[in-house]
Chain A
Amino acid sequence: MQTDVKDKNEALTRKDFASDQNVRWCPGCGDYMILANMQKTFAQMDHAKEDFLSVSGIGCSSRITYYLDTYGIHSIHGRAIAVATGAKLANPELNVWVSTGDGDCMAIGGNHFIHACRRNIDLNIIIFNNKIYGMTKGQSSPTTPEGTKTKTAPEGNYENTFNIGEVAIGAGATFFARVPDKDPKLMEEVMMEAYRHKGTSVIEVLQNCVIFTDGIHEQITGKDTKDDNQLVLEHGKPMVFGKDQQYGLKLEGMKLKKAPYDENDPTFLKHDAHEPDSALQLALAKLELPDFPVSMGVIRKSDKPNFDKTVHDRIATVREHSSFESVSDLFNSGNTWDIE
């Protein structure tokens, strides 16, 4: 639970977080689901409404700031995390949500993203991953799969891609979760977990862009395939998947192996999101089709001091030992002389 926040003195509903602006995404865009879930979970959080801050970069995803009735900054391309960092340090009581796209966050904003993960500042970062630049009409992004035809790779994308979870965990993120845009229940759970986590929480949403990459996540998220192709993780629970939960994961050497599940076999792995050593969580984040299902839910949630708290604790400690009460004490310290 969050501590040191203002008591929320009124019951808020989803409507309280809907602004009066018209939502202008393409009909059917996955962003609607994310917006709805944010509004819904915000109402459940223990924060007064005026202490919410939404910060976004530039892209279709980043328009969300205008649709949330909170304090908000729709900033510049790639820089939302930097803006949010300054805001959170200035006022650590804020409940800060960064919304960003795969292009916004992984390309132009890559530097800020890895440093937020490294610092472990208490921000909640939602990456809307439609694997394309939507707003600028369909160029390759750092997550566009190889072979996908885009405006900038008409014969098929040829660049290596980022796995967002791998980048985040590699950069030191203490919280990483993944959810499909179509799974409101899981999204809600994950958002609440991220909210409770003190430190940088990264949520990757597999978001469908009906215009440029329609169906790109279908194999993972589709009705008929999702049970086989998603591994929904829960801390402390066995990692099982398949329509009848018939598969589980084991370790073979340093690698994960898929095997028919047997609950009496102790070599089947249980999920430990809290383990500080991220090796296994990293392996989970990297699982991909067709050999493995894709991991969903909270993959990593490990405790480490968060930057904003450390900064303010430091300030408090130094202040305690300081003889300066006001600027005048500082100015008059050291070598001074009087002129009569």
Chain B
Amino acid sequence: MANNVLTPTMQKVVVRFSGDSGDGMQLTGDMFSQASGQAGLDLTTIPDFPAEIRAPQGSVGGVSSFQIQFGGTEIYTPGDEVDVLVVMNPAALKANLRFLKLGGTIVADKDSFTSRNLKKADYEENPLEDKSLDEYKVIKAPATSLTKEALKDLGLENQAMTRSKNMFALGLVTYMFGRPLDTLIKFIEKKFSKKPVLVKANKLALEAGFNFALNTEIIGTSIIIPPAKMQKGTYRNIDGNTAIAWGFLAASENSGRKLSLCSYPITPASEILHELSARRDMGAIVFQAEDEIAAVCAAIGASFSGNLSITTTSGPGLSLKSEAIGLAVISEIPLVIVNVQRAGPSTGLPTKTEQSDLNQALYGRHGDAPLVVMAASSPDDCFNYSYEAARLAMEHSTPVILLSDTYLASGTSPWRIPENGDLPDIKIKDFEGSADEWLPYIRDPEFLTRYWKGPGDKGFEHRIGGLEKQVDTGNLTYEPENHEKMTKIREEKIAKIAKKLPRQSVVGAQSGKLLVIGWGSTHGAINTAVTEMLEEGEENIGFTHFNYINPLPENTEEVFSRFDQILVCELNNGQFANYLKTKFPKFNYRKYNKIQGQPFFTSEIKAEIINTLTN
């Protein structure tokens, strides 16, 4: 047997729970990550669902997984390779073994490795018995039978008893990492508060797993990871889509503008629509439109009516919205368009992640139609960026496209709940003169922002629309010079927003051989790769990450000029690199692209950095 890769002094660990989609692995993973958060650890998680909604039970296609990386340092990704793989059946082993580190630990429910289940997963021999797993440490736990044994006095049906075996697994893993059970028990009590018998069943199963690990000593010593240095405050776990929804609620509250969300369902953006639908309890006006065109148009109407207006979608939906977004650009109204990207083109790989809608966000409109484009980089910062997108939209009276993606949408990380004063104020400039002096297209001189007036504002009646506007008056005009002037003004207005943006910062060397560049959701993998290399003694590399894409931060070019080489890493065929080339043509951009519908592994980035440095 290979040596155990788990050591008592580890800084971070990756655990993957996997089982049939009916085995409750998402709940197990979620509870484990909540308890890890409570233990003061930083973490990032990612679920992996079967592609079909109801895949056959026990089949490889029906395996559902949940991966978490947690540790005593800052954790930016759910991890490349898994240290501990929990498998509730043979199919889960088949689907997930490739993620396990050589020498890693497998926790298997040996009761479920029946000949029937083995057959469903296409195993000829039982892998727990045939030495094929000799490279790993295998903990064969009789999860099903011990759970049933523990629950036998509750009077539950067989199936109901078996269903609790996920808690057995959770108890076992909890012991492995030297954690007490009390937080988990509190979760169980809360979650099943209306069904006392389920509280009992889940608690007994949890304890059975914990005690099994304790008594059999199969596991050896538990691994105790010291807490991370996290900022003081109250935390909770949050996924990217919820964080986006909540950012908008906060922006609505802080701006005093009601929130209107107008959307049409699409994977992986739908949960934003779901969450805000549930937030009618906070006054959110949610409209599920008949299609994406109606959705964005309704949002435009709501914006004209004075609300903070949002429309959420994914790539194919953004395509449908383009004409109307152009209307929002020429009308100069506040509007946030969220695109939770998935892999395209067309329906592409609808459940997989990619960053390939950047071109569409930047250029996907007819005419010269500039707007703000920004991207979030972690599940928890989705909150800050949706707040920021709403703030910029309202303060600058412009449409803003916020890019997220599948990876951020479903991943979770601990989020520090903002306290009073943490969030920047939203200062919507109002026209100071009287209605007589006002014109629909006069602008605040500093940022060229048009004032946001609408129905209900007495004396300010006016018309907006898609036909070219005369400077200041907003009247229709086909005058050639006016069109050129307005085109330039619209461009300059967006460019001026750069004055408000944070300066682009660099992790690691501030100048030197190589600058690694990323944007959006790849932050975790690239940052981890670069940071690890710096810790390993590499002194010549820096990393800069973009959240603001149009406009770019003011010091972007200056940052680029401090390095000999530039490496742009992105999950598409080079769209950001091409964009940078048009903005700052004097630099050479080396592209590193992954186009597999999968996020970057840290190891891939490291390898590419080494390649670049040595070539």
Cross-chain contact B282 with A327 (CB below 8 angstroms): yes
A sample of 7 cross-chain residue pairs with beta-carbon separation below 8 angstroms, ordered by A number, consists of: A58-B466, A74-B464, A82-B301, A85-B298, A90-B260, A322-B281, A327-B253
A312–B260 CA distance with the chains assembled, in angstroms:
12
Residues of A within 8 A of B187 (CB): 335
User: B residues 18-62 with Cβ under 8 Å of A?
Assistant: 34, 37-38, 40
Q: Would A330 and B236 be within 8 Å (CB), given that A50-B456, A90-B306, A339-B231 are in contact?
A: no
B463 CB within 8 Å of chain A: yes
A7-27 vs B, CB cutoff 8 Å, 1 = contact: the mask equals 000000000000101000000
A19–B463 touching, CB < 8 Å: yes
Q: What 9 A-B pairs have minimum CB-CB distances, sorted nearest first?
A: A86-B298, A74-B465, A86-B301, A87-B301, A322-B281, A82-B297, A72-B463, A90-B305, A90-B302
The stretch that binds A, out of B120-128, B145-153, B286-294, B397-405, is B286-294
Interface string of A318-338 (1 = CB under 8 A from B): 110110101110111011111
Asked if A91 and B298 make an inter-chain contact with CB atoms under 8 angstroms apart, the answer reads no
Give CA–CA (A337, B304) in the complex, Å: 41
Query: Which residues of chain A come closer than 8 Å to B331, judged between CB atoms?
Result: 73
Partner of B302, one of A21, A89, A334: A89
Contact B260 A324 (CB under 8 A): no
B230 touches A112 (CB 8 A): no
Residues of B within 8 A of A (CB): 34, 37-38, 40, 187, 190, 230-237, 246, 249-250, 253, 258, 260, 262, 279-285, 287, 289-291, 293-295, 297-307, 309, 323-324, 327, 331, 417-418, 454-467, 475-476
Q: A111-B294, A327-B282, A337-B234 are in contact. Are A69 and B461 (CB under 8 A)?
A: yes
Q: Which residue of A lies closest to B260 (CB)?
A: A90
Q: Is A76 interfacial (CB-CB < 8 Å)?
A: yes
Max count, chain A CB within 10 A of own CB: residue among B190, B294, B327 = B294
Query: Given A50-B459, A79-B297, is A337 in contact with B38 using a C-beta cutoff of 8 Å?
Result: yes
Q: Check A83–B236 contact: CB distance below 8 A.
A: no
> In this assembly, does A300 line the interface, its C-beta being within 8 Å of a C-beta of chain B?
no
Residue A65 at the chain B interface, CB threshold 8 Å: yes
20 extra A-B contacts, CB within 8 A, seeds A84-B301, A330-B279? A49-B461, A50-B460, A52-B455, A71-B455, A71-B462, A72-B465, A73-B465, A75-B297, A75-B300, A76-B297, A83-B297, A85-B301, A86-B262, A86-B300, A87-B304, A89-B287, A90-B260, A334-B236, A336-B235, A337-B34
* CA distance in complex: A94, B455 (Å): 7
Least Cβ–Cβ distance between B250 and chain A, in angstroms = 5
**Given contacts A76-B327, A89-B302, is CB(A332)–CB(B417) below 8 Å?**
yes
Q: Is the CB of B236 within 8 A of A336?
A: yes
* Chain A residue contacts of B262, Cβ below 8 A: 86
User: Taking the nearest CB of chain B, how far is it from the CB of A315, in angstroms?
Assistant: 5
Answer yes or no: A311 CB below 8 A from chain B CBs. Answer: yes
What residues of A have a CB within 8 angstroms of the CB of B290 in the complex? 111-112, 115
Report if A89-B236 is in contact (Cβ < 8 Å); known contacts: A69-B461, A332-B417: no
A contact residues around B250 at 8 Å (CB): 327
Determine whether the beta carbon of A71 is less than 8 Å from that of B461: yes
Q: Given A66-B476, A86-B301, are A74 and B246 also a contact pair (CB < 8 Å)?
A: no
The smallest beta-carbon distance between A63 and chain B, in angstroms, is 9
**A residues 293-333 in Cβ contact with B at 8 Å:** 311-312, 314-315, 318-319, 321-322, 324, 326-328, 330-332
Contact: A315 with B285, CB < 8 Å?
Answer: yes
B324 and A79 contacting across the interface, CB-CB below 8 Å: yes
Among the interface residues B233, B282, B475, which one has the most CB atoms of the partner chain A within 10 A?
Answer: B282
Please give the distance in Å from B222's CB to the nearest CB on chain A: 21
A327 to B237 Cα, complex, angstroms: 16
- Which secondary structure dominates where chain B touches chain A? mixed
- The distance from the CB of A232 to the nearest CB of chain B, in whole angstroms, is 34
**Complex Cα gap A338–B230 (Å):** 10
Instruction: Give Cα A191–Cα B174 distance, bound, in whole angstroms.
Output: 70
Q: How far is the CB of A83 from chain B (nearest CB, A)?
A: 4
Q: Which residues from 25 to 81 on chain A have a C-beta closer than 8 Å to any C-beta of chain B?
A: 48-55, 58, 65-66, 69-76, 79
Quote the shortest CB–CB distance from B295 to chain A (angstroms). 8
Q: Shortest Cβ distance from A223 into chain B, in angstroms?
A: 36
- Nearest B residue to A65 via CB reads B463
User: Complex formed: what's the CA distance from A315 to B260 in Å?
Assistant: 12
B467 touches A319 (CB 8 A): no
A88 at the interface (CB under 8 A from B): yes
Q: Which B residues lie within 8 Å of A336 (CB)? A: 234-236, 417
| Residue in B closest to A307 when the chains form the complex, CB atoms | B287
A340 interface residue, CB < 8 Å from B? yes
- Residues of chain A within 8 A of B231, CB atoms compared: 339
B455/A51 in contact, CB under 8 A: yes
Q: Are B417 and A339 in contact (CB under 8 A)?
A: no
Q: Residues of B contacting A51 with CB < 8 Å? A: 455-456
Residue of A nearest to B295 (CB): A82
A65 neighbours in B (Cβ, 8 Å): 463, 465
- Are the CB atoms of A89 and B280 closer together than 8 Å? no
A50→B304 CA distance, assembly (Å): 13
Instruction: Please indicate the chain A residues that have their CB under 8 angstroms from the CB of B464 in the complex.
Output: 72-74
Task: Give the residues in chain B near A74, CB-CB below 8 Å.
Answer: 463-467
Point out the residues of chain A lying under 8 angstroms from B287, CB to CB. Answer: 85-86, 89, 311
Chain B residue with Cβ nearest A312: B285
In the complex, what distance in Å separates the CA atom of A34 from the CA atom of B359? Answer: 44
Q: Count chain A CB atoms within 10 A of each CB in B260, B298, B457 and give the residue with the most.
A: B298
CA distance A55 to B304 in the complex (A): 11
Smallest CB-CB separation from B183: which chain A residue? A337
Q: Are B253 and A326 in contact (CB under 8 A)?
A: yes
In angstroms, Cα B303 to Cα A187, docked, is 32
Taking CB atoms, residues of chain A closer than 8 Å to B37 are: 337
Determine whether the beta carbon of B301 is less than 8 Å from that of A55: yes
What is the bound-complex CA distance between A79 and B296, given in angstroms? 10
CB of A62, distance to nearest CB on chain B (Å): 9
B455 near A50: Cβ-Cβ < 8 Å? yes
User: Considering residues B231, B295, B306, B461, which has the most beta carbons from chain A within 10 angstroms of its beta carbon?
Assistant: B461
In the complex, which residues of chain B have a beta carbon less than 8 angstroms from the beta carbon of A84?
Answer: 301
Q: Are A89 and B463 in contact (CB under 8 A)?
A: no
B466 near A50 (CB under 8 angstroms)?
A: no
Contact B301 A76 (CB under 8 A): no
Inter-subunit contact B417/A331 (CB<8 Å): yes
A337 to B258, CA, bound (A): 30
Instruction: Give the CA-CA distance A335 to B237 in the complex, in Å.
Output: 8
Are A76 and B235 also in contact (CB < 8 A) when A66-B476, A91-B305, A327-B249 are?
Answer: no
CB neighbours of A111 from chain B (8 A): 290-291, 294
Most buried by B among A72, A112, A336: A336
